[in-house]
Amino acid sequence: MTGLRGKTVLVTGASRGIGAAIARQTADAGASLILHATAEGPAIEDVALERKIPRSRLIFEDLSAPEAGFRLFEKALAAAPRIDAVVNNAGIYVSSGLTAPRAEWRDAWSKTNAVNVQAPADISCAAIAHFRAAGGGVVVNIASRAGHRGDAIDGAAYAASKGAILAMTKTFARALAAENILFYAVAPGWVETRMAPKDVEARRKAVADIPLGRVATPEEVAAMTVFLLSGACASATGATFDINGASYVR
């Protein structure tokens, strides 16, 4: 697939799981990549080596820190004078149990919001300014099924953050489509990553709730993301694409 040849794409959280799969498939589609990870390490280096991405195009930022999203995009622009698309994939899950001590409760919500909402919002803000000067661009936000249907009781902060991403995507899509700035969301259910349930009983319950009979693969999420990045269906801007094996059908 070569639908992204000549395009430069920034992918956050690209060291493993969905982000790494998106990086690989985006590179295979012909794109030039800028990859983000929280810190240096063998995982992101392996992805870069596999797809021959120069080290100058690896960016390291802890997205829980203030202004990290803006710094990340500034570093991306220093690595490549033009960015055509962004994939906001980086995210965290921090348990926000109702019975946790108040300090832990507040910290869970604060950190989740910083990484899952504020950072992608700041990256989007910076990208929009760049896209306006460049004549357009694409943002794909990786959200979650939890943003629609909610999550387990300890996942309230995570679900709320992904619901915010869905609302942000729709808002920017409606406001910016006339400027050729397109926003999409992808909302996976369980995906075969570190966040998928490993406990045998938890795994059985998760799969039993999926009519397709299995959790999704990172490659499936990546395939949808690459399609959206390609611009093959610009009229879908503002839409959310569910990848959950029919476990939540809207």
Catalytic residue positions?
Answer: 158
Q: How far is it, in rounded angstroms, from Cα 60 to Cα 190?
A: 27
Helix axes 119-134, 156-176, angle to 10 degrees: 10
Q: Are 220 and 192 in contact (CB under 8 A)?
A: no
Reading the block at residue 233, the tokens are 């269906």
Helix axes 119-134, 68-79, angle to 10 degrees: 40
Q: How far is it, in rounded angstroms, from Cα 20 to Cα 37?
A: 10
Q: What's the start-to-end Cα distance of the chain, in Å?
A: 30
Identity of the amino acid at 218: P
Q: Could you tell me which of 121, 122, 112 has the C-alpha nearest to residue 159?
A: 112
Q: Are 8 and 32 in contact (CB under 8 A)?
A: yes
DSSP-assigned letters across all residues of 161-208? HHHHHHHHHHHHHHHHGGGTEEEEEEEESSBSSTTS--SHHHHHHHHH
> What values do phi and psi take at 60, rounded to 5?
-120, 120
